Structure 1
Amino acid sequence: MSSPSVTQAPPGYADEPVVRLRHPGRWVAAAVVVVLAAMFLHFVATTPQLRPDLVLGYLFERSILRGLLVTIELTAVAMVVGIVLGTLLAVMRLSDNPLLRWVAGGYVGLFRGTPILVQLLFWFFLGTVLPRVSLGVPFGPELVSVSTNTLITQFAAAILGLGLNEAAYMAEIVRAGIGAVDRGQTEAAQALGMSPGLSYRRVVLPQAARVIVPPTANELISMLKLTSLCLVIGLPELLTTAQLIYGRNFQQIPLLIVASIWYLVLTTLLSIVQARVERRMNRGVAGASPRRRTRPALSGVRP
């Protein structure tokens, strides 16, 4: 076997020095960033109204931490509702049954087409038009009847508003992930005797996860910040708690900085977890970062 040919440098150029390209734009951009950072630090240092002592004092204040805990709980529960219901809606939209496709499409269109703030207020004030929620025989006697205001508390209204809205977006994310899996995978699973539900659970969804996980992580970060909208229904999450405090001491900016710091901390932690999960899921995939590979590229791919 002949050795590969090596391209020779043109005569007279072999000893020429290598001249690096100049990038003046980088220096200009760096100078602008440094100036803006210096201006920001000067503003913080010379503005006593920011009250850094007050910010530090309220950062770990008990009511602020309770509001932070409510925010975390609300984010977790709403995302679970959104992911579970969104996955079901995505499967319905891909179903061969036109009625299921129509119902899922109508749900997605309704909840994506109306503002989430309106949805939160709708669930919170549902008791004004539906005083009681009843279970029983259709058009017959009632077996159980509960007051709507007792059933739908502030937390429940927030979960309904955020979770049901998130399900509409997760349905599209999951549908796109399932659509990215080759149809032959489903046909092969059914040829092996798997039911449609089992083939979705064992074959399609695990492969679609690589497409679904990154946007889902972004939705989780967005959900964390959307919980601040629960201010309108009075749920004592992080921002509402900060508002209640500055409503008493009139220190609006320092308390808003406290809330912003905690939101930044949580979103940063979620971003780190997202990056680690994505790296782990991309192991063994062609094109993944070679720094994280511990085995050949095809060793994680099923034959």
Structure 2
Amino acid sequence: MITIIQTYGSMLLGALGKTLLLTLLSLFFAMIIGLIFSLMNVGKNRFLNFIGVVYVDGVRGVPLIVLAYFIYFGLPAGIKMLGAQDFRLTALQAGTIALAMNCGAYMAEIIRAGIESVDKGQMEASRSLGLNYRLSMQTIVLPQAIRTMIPSIINQFIITLKDTSILSVIGFPELTNMGKTISGNTFKSLETWAIVGVMYMVVIITLSKVAKRVERRMSRGR
């Protein structure tokens, strides 16, 4: 095990960095996607409600690995059929899109639940003061909803971090993919996957502790 760490330690750390980069990029875009579709779902426009429900249920109903294959292989093939011969996606681009779409569907439900947890009287009071729906949501409802959403968002970050391992199937050099490479080179599967497991464990336990601490602070602040 020590030999593997000495020989491949920098590669493993680099792969962990790419895993965290992919996770952060995906979560950033997932927050935008989630906010858009959650507002569609809590609004009174039935057409927008329908679009929001179709997206959330549709994406959550498709396994992430299938979504990754579709975006990495299927989407370029479909665009080439339309005449764009040079269109390709890198593993990072495809992985970010797949994770952001998947995570965004769950973020939409987290944000929707957070918005609905705010007493409806808050919106009614702000509208009675002359604020329009957008300003009421932006200045009154969302700031209160964020307090309840933060622990769930951190938990979703942890889930997304673990889901990055699935993207090894499209060749993205994240931690699991690097573990496959090292295991194949050294024929020491037990030691390699033990090291990879410990690296995931350290990051995820740290994030879990942060989530619990934030949740306690939020609870004391109410």
The aligned amino acid for 1:268 is: I
Aligned residues: 221
Taking the aligned partners of 1:244 and 1:157, their CA distance within structure 2 comes to 21
Q: Does 1:275 align with 2:212?
A: yes
**8 A contact 2:148–2:218 mirrored in 1:** no
Alignment match of 1:89 (pick from 12, 32, 37): 37
Taking the aligned partners of 2:124 and 2:4, their CA distance within structure 1 comes to 59
Alignment match of 1:105 (pick from 42, 45, 53): 53
Residue 257 to residue 202, structure 1, CA distance change in 2 (3 Å): same
Report 1:223-262 matches (<5 A).
223-262=160-199
> Who is 1:183 aligned against?
120
Taking the aligned partners of 2:153 and 2:199, their CA distance within structure 1 comes to 21
The aligned amino acid for 2:53 is: G
Q: Highest relative contact order (Cα 8 Å, sep 6+), 1 or 2?
A: 2
* Stretch moving more, 272-281 or 177-186: 272-281
Alignment match of 2:66 (pick from 114, 118, 123): 118
Residue segments in structure 1 that go unaligned for 5+ positions in a row: 1-51, 135-144, 286-303
Alignment match of 1:164 (pick from 76, 91, 101): 101
Q: Does 1:202 align with 2:202?
A: no
> Who is 2:16 aligned against?
68
Structure 1 segments, 4+ long, off by >4 Å, are none
Indicate the structure with greater helix content: 2
What is the CA distance between 1:55 and its match in structure 2? 5.2
Q: Does 1:266 align with 2:215?
A: no
RMSD (Å), alpha carbons: 1.8
Q: Does 1:57 align with 2:1?
A: no
**8 A contact 2:175–2:196 mirrored in 1:** yes
Taking the aligned partners of 1:187 and 1:265, their CA distance within structure 2 comes to 46
> Who is 1:291 aligned against?
none
Normalised to the residue count of structure 1, the TM-score between the two structures is 0.69
> Who is 1:127 aligned against?
76
